[in-house]
């Protein structure tokens, strides 16, 4: 499974880096009509109005690391280096996101669109290529997320009802279910008005639960069941590990709640 998903992941990563490179080079070479010094002096250090939405986007951007982490660690030749790999990955992608956000804000200051590609000049061949690359990157992310979801759900179906889903006919049913899920999601995205607001609300609530809250609350629950030196299920958790998990829970609860409220308000007022 990981061999197949790694192909999509590598291609998506390549597309993402190409898009980031286009935006960065454009910010350095384009005549924006305002100086970089003036931009630093005039632009607010923090856009408090857009902060909740930004936090929701940040949660979504980190979703892939959480979804893929168990499979990645399990397939590593030296799983003891997983924490180092995870730290390097977090730093790398954080710098990438910040670079693209900062460059885009500088390019289209003072009124950038919510989606950067909407500000692109449609007559520029380079920016047309950038939009195409950006779309491919999103498609690869979509495939990866659905791949993990399908694999988990189908494994559960086979374990629960082996006579139905463990056969050749059952595998065909699962594949048809995949096609139906993709088709229905695409239809909803096309037909439903203000679909972006629904995605924002779902991301703010669901991803905050799935990334910040539930994993760390599960970890803390298991950590509290420790007995002796090895503990139940072999779990060991130091005081610093527990405090770090609580900090993530509090951070996720606060930012997720704010982003959910703001997204809901935007949805009902649209």
Q: Within the chain, where are the H helices?
A: 2-29, 36-42, 51-61, 63-75, 82-107, 125-160, 162-165, 168-191, 195-202, 214-223, 239-269
pLDDT given for residue 230 in this prediction: 46
User: What's the distance, CA 177 to chain centroid?
Assistant: 24
Instruction: Tell me the pLDDT tens digit for each residue of 202-227.
Output: 777 877 787 788 888 888 888 776 55
Q: Within 192-223, where are the H helices?
A: 195-202, 214-223
Average pLDDT for 125-141: 87
Q: How many residues does the chain have?
A: 270
Q: Is the pLDDT of residue 144 over 80?
A: no
Cα angle at 24 between 19 and 26, to 5 degrees? 95
Q: Is the pLDDT of residue 115 over 80?
A: no
Written as six digits, the tokens of 243 are 């405090």
Cα angle at 2 between 12 and 159, to 5 degrees? 130
Average pLDDT for 146-168: 85
pLDDT given for residue 22 in this prediction: 93
User: Where is pLDDT greater, at 229 or 159?
Assistant: 159
Give the predicted TM-score (pTM) of the model: 0.69
Q: Is the pLDDT of residue 239 over 90?
A: no
Average pLDDT for 79-99: 84
Band of the pLDDT at 5, cuts 50, 70, 90? low
Average pLDDT for 105-130: 87
pLDDT given for residue 231 in this prediction: 46
């Amino acid at each position: 499974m990981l061999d197949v998903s790694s192909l999509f992941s590598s291609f998506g990563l390549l597309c993402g880096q190409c898009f980031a490179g286009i935006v960065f080079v454009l910010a350095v070479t384009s005549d924006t009509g305002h100086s970089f010094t003036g931009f630093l002096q005039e632009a607010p250090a923090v856009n408090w109005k857009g902060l909740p939405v930004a936090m929701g986007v940040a949660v979504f951007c980190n979703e892939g690391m959480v979804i893929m982490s168990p499979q990645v660690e399990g397939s590593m030749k030296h799983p003891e280096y997983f924490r180092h790999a995870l730290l390097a990955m977090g730093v790398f992608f954080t710098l990438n996101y910040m670079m693209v956000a900062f460059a885009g804000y500088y390019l289209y200051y003072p009124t950038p669109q919510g989606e950067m590609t909407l500000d692109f000049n449609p007559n520029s061949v380079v920016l047309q290529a950038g939009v195409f690359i950006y779309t491919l990157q999103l498609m690869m992310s979509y495939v990866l997320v659905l791949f993990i979801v399908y694999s988990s759900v189908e494994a559960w179906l086979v374990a629960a009802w082996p006579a139905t889903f463990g056969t050749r006919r059952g595998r065909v049913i699962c594949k048809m279910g995949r096609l139906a899920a993709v088709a229905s999601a695409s239809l909803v995205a096309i037909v439903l008005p203000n679909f972006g607001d629904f995605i924002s609300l779902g991301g703010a609530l669901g991803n905050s639960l799935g990334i910040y809250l539930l994993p760390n609350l599960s970890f803390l629950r298991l950590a509290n069941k420790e007995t002796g030196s090895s503990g139940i299920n072999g779990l060991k958790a130091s005081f610093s590990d527990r405090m770090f998990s609580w900090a993530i829970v509090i951070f996720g609860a606060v930012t997720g709640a704010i982003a959910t409220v703001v997204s809901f308000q935007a949805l009902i007022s649209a």
